[in-house]
Amino acid sequence: MRASCRRLFSVSAVTLRPKPLNPPRVATFTTKTMALHPAQDGAKLIFAPAGASADPSVPGQAAQFLKAETRGGLRRSDLDPDSPITQFHKWFTDACQPETGISHPETCTLSTAQLPSGRVSSRMVYMKELDPKGFVIYSNFGTSGKARDLFGSEDGSSTGNPWASLVFWWEPLERQVRVEGRAERLTREESQAYFDTRVRGSRLGAWSSKQSAVLHPDPADPDDDGRRQLDKWVKESEQRFEGEEKIPVPDFWGGLRIVPERVEFWQGRQNRLHDRFVYDRVHQDGGEDKWTLERLSP
């Protein structure tokens, strides 16, 4: 099992080297090629999927989800009857198998909502740990949009909304998991334990970046687009911790646990008649919480 998969119940140092991205390619198509109805603005840049036929006027069809058909799809008996955490761990283990080709199964979308406006923000993050309480990520919670949405802002533009969601999508398995719950900060000691596993450059980067702050270009350098300001902050952090191997975790940086109230397991099926099962937490006065498990219509 890969290192990223082992991190569910223990942390370990892993360096991820992203592959360089090719320049984006934008194709333009006529309305006849791309849609069955006229485009209001003259032409669509993208209408997916494009026609697969030799006749460009024939629209394409979205691919079918067929991997679960031969085994009868997803059934209630396939799922853990008591715990979505246990069930997630099983599906995550499946996603970690080399033959799936899923390079980073811990990748997920974190969504938060700003109050009182209700404006929603989403971003891709790595789930670093899973424990009996919930799903853990690490990030900047001082200046980031996540911090504004979850904990409020000094200027009063957001009052703080602890509700958040995670979405995992494992296309080769035609599986999706949706998590909804309340966010809570990990203790400094827990965050330090993970922080110590990061490479030195990443630890210095956490100290250096005022996440989501505007980087202003150097007016004396016409080629600078603001990156020079970030490089300056990094140099300041390097000087601050020069010769020190034990770097403390910043107060504004650390772990966030999404404690689930609702977890949905989605298995793709033919003709968009997908299998969906949802766990809902039932709070017990003076006792351990229980989970209900129901099938949802696709």
Q: What is the pLDDT of residues 49-63, one digit of tens each?
A: 666 556 656 667 777
* Residue 132 neighbours by CB under 8 Å, 6+ apart: 85
- Whether 203 has a pLDDT exceeding 80, the answer reads yes
DSSP designation for 157: S
272 catalytic? Reply is: yes
pTM higher than 0.75: yes
Facing residues of 242 across strands?
none
Greatest CA separation for the chain? 67
Q: Considering only 39-43, 175-179, 236-240, 257-261, which range has the smallest mean pLDDT?
A: 39-43
Cα dihedral sign, 137-140-145-147: positive
Q: What is the pLDDT of residue 210?
A: 87
What pLDDT score does 205 carry?
93
What are the b/e assignments for 8-32, b being 16+ CB within 10 Å? Answer: beebeeeeeeeeeeeeeeeeebeee
Backbone angles phi, psi at 137, to 5 degrees: -125, 165
Ordered by where they begin, the domains of the chain are: 67-202+251-295 (2.30.110.10)
Catalytic residue, from 76, 123, 272, 295: name it: 272
Least confident of 41-45, 115-119, 124-128, 287-291: 41-45
Helix-strand-coil split of the chain, %, nearest 5? 25, 25, 50
CA distance 51 to 34: 7
The pair of structure tokens assigned to 288 is 């351990």
Mean per-residue pLDDT for 12-22?
A: 41
Sorted by sequence, the CB contacts under 8 Å of residue 97 that are 6+ apart come out as 1
CA 121, distance to chain mean position in Å, is 12
CB atoms closer than 10 angstroms to residue 85: 18
pLDDT of residue 65: 86
pLDDT tens profile 133-148:
999 999 999 889 999 9
Range 22-34 average pLDDT: 44
Give tens-digit pLDDT for 81-98. Answer: 999 999 999 999 999 999
pLDDT tens digits, 70-82:
888 999 999 999 9
